[in-house]
Amino acid sequence: MEFKNITHERSLYVTLGVIIVLVVTIIMSIHTAYVYMDTKNNIFQGMKQSSRHIIVSLQKNVMDLMKSYSINEYDKLVLNEMEGRDNFAIIVEDYNMGKILGEKAFLSGKIRDAEGNIIDYDSKNSEQNKQLEACYYSDKYDITTDSGDKLGTIAIYISNISMNAQLNKIIIGSIINLVLLSLLFLLSLFIIIHFFILKPLSDIISCIKHSDHDGIPVALIPNHGSKEIFLLSNTMNNMIISIRDSRVALKAQKNALHYQANHDALTGLANRILFNDRLEQSIIKAKNNSTKVALFFIDLDHFKKINDSLGHEIGDKILKVVTQRLNETICKEATLARLGGDEFSIIVEDLRQGQDASLLANKLIELLSQPLTIEDNLLYISSSIGISIYPDDGVSAQNLIKYADAAMYKAKDEGRNNFQYYSAEMTELAFERVVMDTSLREALKNGDFVVYYQPQVNGNNNKLVGMEALVRWQHPIMGLVAPSKFIPLAEETGMIIPLDQYVMRCAMTQIAKWYKEGFKPGVVALNLAMKQLHQKDFISILETMLKETECKAEWIELEVTESQIMTNPEEAIKILKQINDMGIKLAVDDFGTGYSSLSYLKRLPIDKLKIDQSFIRDLPEDEEDASITKAVIALSKSLNLRVIAEGVETKEQKEFLIENGCNNIQGYFYGKPMPANEMEKVLSKGFNS
């Protein structure tokens, strides 16, 4: 549910504001008009009254002066009257003086100029006459003798300048009052409307806007404001609560139906529908990440006989136990499904090699072969497992399912209680891996591993400076097995930790023995796996070994490969510092292959860099290898580190290294890795020039 945009609608505030302004404007206009007319009428009456006062003041005096022809005198009287009032002009008509001059009347008086100054009136000045005609108010009075003879007239002219100023003040004052009253009314009304109507309505709208995808408000509507809004809020809240309750029930019902549609009713595992969807998603993910997916088809051997003999109730309980065992074995990321009957399937993602699936398959075979007790019945079951690999066997879910099913039947044909890959070649490799893993564990128990030592020599004087301890597997059937055959498997299975500790203990015991016997073997270098470093008790184990073997810390050196350090450099720095604090020397093995950052390298508590043999093999002919080797030597000097080259086999390689500042040499040129008894001969005789 979405709300339509209503921003084009006029706000209630604006509507009310317009109404208030119109009402106040009409009222103030009527009031102003009344005041205006009343003031204007009062001013007009004042003008008439003022003119009468002037006439009363002037009439008697001017009459006497006219009789004596004293023009200047009554002209002064007019001037005095003008100065005391704001009249525009006072004009006197003198008939007696007019007769003398041969005119109808002699005109004199005073008038104001544009600046308001009083000047003499000139009857021939047309501009002054126009101004007199334009005056707002004028009045003319006769001057007569006591006997009734008419001597002349006095005309008084009053302009509207003063009146207009007063009327303008009224208008301006009315406008100001209009604005102030409007603002006061608006503010008062807005406050009342805001707190009692609009604020509650706004809160309701705000709550409605903050709705979920179904249009239901997330929070309840506040119930405050006027009585009507309070009732509206309560009604809406009751509706919201009712809808929420209905939706929760509907959602629970929907989830239940969805779960039933995608899960097995007996075991709670994913059913075929959900399994197919998960497999499709796993294929997409593997394609994007360039990884592999293993698909397991598991079928319980002779399960039908159990159902037929003991009944389906016992069979269902067995399936539940099998489900529990499978869940406890697989990782959390894997998908376990029951496809029907006694068929299970597992989807395992993020495999690097297809044969890695054999480790899980072997665990499943062993786990499902263990006896189980159901209602006092001791039962033994086994399973047949088929495995297909994406993308090695197929790229579609349909083909992977088909191939895993075919491999499962192949496992049944091979006598059951085993697993088979869809590819016969992969099955053979997987069994070889299982055999190797089993043999590796047995070899550790039986002490079939031996430690060989390869000399490390100062090339300038051909004197032994140390040696590297290297593990060899003395297999009772296969003979001496090279490390490349079993070290990767030991790292994958976690066996590298006990193997490392076995080699360290043997080498420490041997080096301590040599020192006691008066030999000078130098420092023995031990390879250290990062998994070993990540063990919480590694430091305490190392201290215990040194104490029990009576080996001094300065007699050993631990080598860690550059690529392992750069996997988690911050953690590596922290752990290696603890080792360095014990007095044990540290070296970076295979330097140049791990793309280490100089910022991390200078922080590592290391003593030595070991140039990887891949850069030594083609020296001195290969210019690129020569440049890299020189750069590593220069870097070690700048960081005040010792440097050693491994894999040196020829005199030319040795001479190149010494010429460029790398004196320490390790390789077949001085000797292959050898057992302890042969190494004692080297300790006794040394090396010839």
pLDDT reported for residue 6:
42
Tokens, residue 616: 């030594």
Residue 269 · residue 263 · CB < 8 Å: yes
pLDDT reported for residue 510:
95
Q: For the stretch 451-483, what's the b/e string if a residue is b when 16 or more beta carbons lie within 10 angstroms of its beta carbon?
A: bbbbbbbbbeeeebbbbbbbbbbebeeeeebee
CB atoms within 10 A of CB 510: 21
Distance CA 483, CA 472 (A): 6
pLDDT reported for residue 508:
95
pLDDT reported for residue 198:
65
Distance CA 586, CA 326 (A): 44
Second CATH level (architecture) for the domain 15-165: 2-Layer Sandwich (3.30)
What's the alpha-carbon Rg for the chain, to the nearest Å? 58
27-31 contacts, C-beta under 8 A, 24 or more apart: 28/174, 28/177, 28/178, 28/181, 31/174
pLDDT reported for residue 13:
62
The CA-atom distances, in angstroms, between 372 and each of 317, 322, 327 are: 11, 9, 16
Residue 559: φ, ψ to 5°: -105, 130
pLDDT reported for residue 672:
93
Q: What angle do CA 665, 666, 671 make, to 5 degrees?
A: 120
Distance CA 636, CA 115 (A): 103
Alpha helices in 383-537 (DSSP H): 397-413, 424-446, 483-493, 496-516, 530-533
Distance CA 283, CA 294 (A): 10
What sign does the CA torsion over 235, 241, 245, 251 have? Answer: positive
The SS3 call for residue 625 is helix
User: Position 334: which residue type?
Assistant: A
Q: In this structure, which CATH number among 1.20.210.10, 3.40.50.300, 3.30.420.10, 3.30.70.270 belongs to the domain 267-437?
A: 3.30.70.270
The SS3 call for residue 459 is coil
Task: Tell me the DSSP string of 420-453.
Answer: EESSHHHHHHHHHHHHHHHHHHHHHHHT-EEEEE
pLDDT reported for residue 467:
94
pLDDT reported for residue 54:
75
pLDDT reported for residue 8:
43
Which residues, 6 or more positions from 519, have their beta carbon under 8 angstroms from its beta carbon? Answer: 680, 683, 684
The CA-atom distances, in angstroms, between 296 and each of 87, 200, 289, 389 are: 120, 62, 21, 9
Q: What DSSP designation does 537 have?
A: T
Q: In the chain, what are the domain boundaries?
A: 15-165, 267-437, 447-682
The domain covering 447-682 belongs, at the CATH homologous superfamily level, to: EAL domain (3.20.20.450)
pLDDT reported for residue 126:
86
* 299: nearest Cα among 337, 264, 342: 342
The CA-atom distances, in angstroms, between 205 and each of 136, 198, 199, 434, 544 are: 63, 10, 10, 68, 72
Residue 676 · residue 451 · CB < 8 Å: yes
Tokens, residue 251: 């959602």
Q: What angle do CA 527, 528, 533 make, to 5 degrees?
A: 175
616-620 contacts, C-beta under 8 A, 24 or more apart: 616/645, 616/646, 616/647, 616/648, 616/653, 616/657, 616/667, 617/647, 619/652, 619/653, 619/656, 619/657, 620/652, 620/653, 620/656
Q: For residue 336, what are the β-bridge partners?
A: 346
pLDDT reported for residue 470:
93
* Residue position matching structure tokens 């006219």: 66
CB atoms within 10 A of CB 187: 10
The SS3 call for residue 261 is helix
15-165 and 267-437 in the same fold: no
The SS3 call for residue 14 is helix
Residue 230 · residue 197 · CB < 8 Å: no
Distance CA 233, CA 231 (A): 5
* 44: nearest Cα among 162, 130, 184: 162
Q: Which residues of the chain have pLDDT under 70?
A: 1-13, 162, 194-199, 214-215, 223-228, 256, 424-434, 566-567, 592-600, 688-689
